[in-house]
Amino acid sequence: MIKIARLFLALVLVFLYLPIVVMAAMGFNASPLYALPFDFTTHWYQELAGNGRLIEAGWNSIWLAVLTSVIATALGTLAALALWRRTFRGRSILRILLLPPIAIPWLITGTAMLVFFFWTGIGRGLHAMLIGHVALAIPYVVLVVGTGLQTLRADLEEAAMSLGSTPIHAFFRVTLPLLLPSIVGAALFAFAVSLDQFVISYFLSVPGMTTLPVEIYSAIRKGFTPEINAISTILLVASMIVILGFARFARPGGIGERS
Amino acid sequence: MPPEAGVAGLPAARRRMPPWVATAALLLPSYAWLTLAVLLPLAAMFAFSFLHATPLGNKPVVWTLEQYRAFYDQPYLLGVAWASLSIGLWTTGICAVVGFAAALALVRATAGRARETLLILVLLPFWTNGLVRVFSWTMVIREGGFLDTFVRWFWPSAPSLGFLYTTPAIVLGLVHGYLPYMVLTCYIALLSIDEAVIEAAQSLGARWWTVLFKILVPLAAPGLVTGAILIFVPVIGAFMEPRILGGRVGVTMGTVIEDQFTQAFNWPLGSALAFTMLAVVLAVFATFSGVLRRSAAT
């Protein structure tokens, strides 16, 4: 029974990783029509280096993810401090209000942003994407930092203050350092949310102001080339590294904690 | 923002200002942002769904309910809705069976560091770009793709098994995308089951299927339901997967709504369809939140 279970797990992992591995391998195959036998080349990566459009979209994605991460982490951490360290009326409603960006299909959120930003004159482009990405990332930051705060004892801060520390001093010398792993984890998570975001970027992009996923999508719709495999592989590896970093800093949702 | 911001209910802070000021200052930036970027847009879209036409140029604004009659006026939409629904149900169902089994295997057949590593391996693809993962399936299931090559190693004259641009291809891509959700929610639910319950059943002579269907599945039901909601809701709104994996057959509510905004520029109709879908989503949440609360209470 145990052996069957382990075999099944192995099959699930093959199912999850096989297409990704095939896709990545094809980026190193010489044939532009993905024909086998496999013939190793870095030609498509060199081609990529000369593709100004994709490079520009790549930089847009990175800058957008950095800004999203910084803004969402700053705002979300403050909100988490209020939602988990203070009691006030309406707290549970405010916590529920974090759900719409996570729970409503992105198609609906994205088109709603398109309509509203058009109507108010905010328009489309990278600034509109930044507004959207930060809104998507804030709830995740609040939840990750909030989970961190829950495991952090409030009395440490009170102890520091009863020993004569000022509230600001206590926050910066006691709470913040202890909370730092959660905050770094939340920042990495926000970075990944933005880097991988496609739907909202798609609706808010204008030609010449796109992100990598949007460019990849329009390239796929025009026809497959191994160059798309190359850029997709880079994006995939980048987000895997960021997410493993997140798992290292903030152990999400008690995964593996109880084992 | 006052620097006292981070401090909870302290005498020093209280002397200088009432505590609600600091609370509000902590919350205001996030919630103002969410209001501007999510809540107001949704409200605006709701208003748009009652318009006769997209208010471009000097067209007069005419309020109407006609957009919500779309399913009646354009019967082909019923077929599209049914296609989306069945894609959603198939995806959710397959994820439930495979995800539950995988979570069970994780909990019962692995332990310690190996289990932790395996869980991370299962969850890792979920946080990578969905678009890239959908694209990667086209490499496998296209005619002459990896699947065909693999089969022809053993049977050189095999007919092509490629099924890109079919409905099963869409379901496959969606299952691949959302399976990790189900594994995670079932894993958490299964972990909390008391080992003694299973041992008691076994010592009383229960066979494995009795244990599975009378103990494990009912006790892990909240995990199954949560996973099902987390999968069904985004899947019925999917448009990128049907477009890439479904080609011409990939017409779903998601792609119809997308078309209204990017091709047809019929924003009121797109808004009305989006809100109809949102109503379905909320109905799903409302139905199952009751089930979840009941199972949490017992």
Close Cβ partners of A228 (under 8 Å, ≥ 6 residues apart): A216, A219, A220, B135
Are A144 and A202 members of one domain? Answer: yes
What's the first-to-final CA gap in chain A, in angstroms?
A: 21
Name the DSSP class of B158. P
Residue A257 inside a domain? The answer is no
Name the DSSP class of A175. I
CA distance A135 to A72: 8
CA distance B234 to A198: 14
Q: How do residues A19-52 score in pLDDT, each as one tens digit?
A: 898 888 888 888 887 777 778 888 888 888 888 8
Question: Residue B105 burial by CB count (10 A; 0-12/13-18/19+): exposed, middle or buried?
Answer: buried
Q: How do residues B100-158 score in pLDDT, each as one tens digit?
A: 999 999 998 888 888 888 988 888 887 778 888 898 898 888 888 888 888 888 888 88
Residue A259 inside a domain? The answer is no
Chain B nearest CA to A226, separation (Å): 10
* Contact indicator for A226, A44 with CB cutoff of 8 Å: yes
Contact state of B128 with A239 under an 8 Å Cβ cutoff: yes
Chain B residue numbers touching A139 (CB-CB < 8 A) = 34
* Contact indicator for A231, A46 with CB cutoff of 8 Å: no
Are A25 and A118 members of one domain? Answer: no
Q: How do residues A92-148 score in pLDDT, each as one tens digit?
A: 888 888 888 888 888 999 999 999 998 888 888 999 999 999 999 999 999 889 888
Are A16 and A63 members of one domain? Answer: no
Are A117 and A221 members of one domain? Answer: yes
Residue A48 inside a domain? The answer is no
Name the DSSP class of B269. H
pLDDT given for residue A73 in this prediction: 96
For B35, nearest residue in chain A (alpha carbons):
A135
Are A109 and A199 members of one domain? Answer: yes
Task: Of A197, A83, A70, A102, give the one whose Cα is nearest residue A142.
Answer: A83
Which of A3, A4, A6, A12 would best serve as a mutation to test chain B binding (most B beta carbons within 10 A)? Answer: A12
Chain A residue numbers touching B106 (CB-CB < 8 A) = 9
Are A128 and A21 members of one domain? Answer: no
Chain B nearest CA to A252, separation (Å): 10
CA distance A193 to A256: 23
Are A26 and A125 members of one domain? Answer: no
For A195, nearest residue in chain B (alpha carbons):
B129
* Contact indicator for A140, A102 with CB cutoff of 8 Å: yes
Are A131 and A166 members of one domain? Answer: yes
Taking residues B208-219, report their average pLDDT: 87
Chain A nearest CA to B298, separation (Å): 23
Question: DSSP 3-state assignment of B50?
Answer: coil
Are A248 and A136 members of one domain? Answer: yes
Q: Sorting pLDDT into bands at 50, 70 and 90, what band is B16?
A: low
Question: Residue B209 burial by CB count (10 A; 0-12/13-18/19+): exposed, middle or buried?
Answer: exposed
Are A18 and A140 members of one domain? Answer: no
pLDDT at B164 over 50: yes
Residue A142 inside a domain? The answer is yes
Residue A248 inside a domain? The answer is yes
Chain A residue numbers touching B132 (CB-CB < 8 A) = 20, 23, 213, 216, 232, 235-236
Task: Give the CATH number of the domain where residue A138 resides.
Answer: 1.10.3720.10
* Contact indicator for B9, B19 with CB cutoff of 8 Å: yes
Count the domains in chain A.
Answer: 2
Contact state of A134 with B37 under an 8 Å Cβ cutoff: yes
Contact state of B41 with A17 under an 8 Å Cβ cutoff: no
Task: Sketch out chain B's domains with CATH numbers.
Answer: 76-297 (1.10.3720.10)
Q: How do residues B54-100 score in pLDDT, each as one tens digit?
A: 776 667 777 888 888 888 888 888 989 999 999 999 999 999 999 99
Are A36 and A72 members of one domain? Answer: no
Higher-scoring residue by pLDDT: A86, B256: B256
Residue A258 inside a domain? The answer is no
* Contact indicator for B177, B285 with CB cutoff of 8 Å: no
Are A162 and A228 members of one domain? Answer: yes
Residue A25 inside a domain? The answer is yes
Segment A22-30 long-range contacts (CB within 8 Å, at least 24 positions apart)? A22/B136, A22/B139, A22/B140, A22/B146, A23/A229, A23/A232, A23/A233, A23/B132, A23/B135, A23/B136, A23/B139, A24/A229, A24/A232, A24/A233, A24/A236, A26/A226, A26/A229, A26/B139, A27/A226, A27/A229, A27/A230, A27/A232, A27/A233, A29/A226
For A37, nearest residue in chain B (alpha carbons):
B149
Chain A residue numbers touching B137 (CB-CB < 8 A) = 19
Q: Which residue has the tokens 């902590």?
A: B26
Domain range for A163 is 53-252
Question: DSSP 3-state assignment of A87?
Answer: coil
* Contact indicator for B161, B148 with CB cutoff of 8 Å: yes
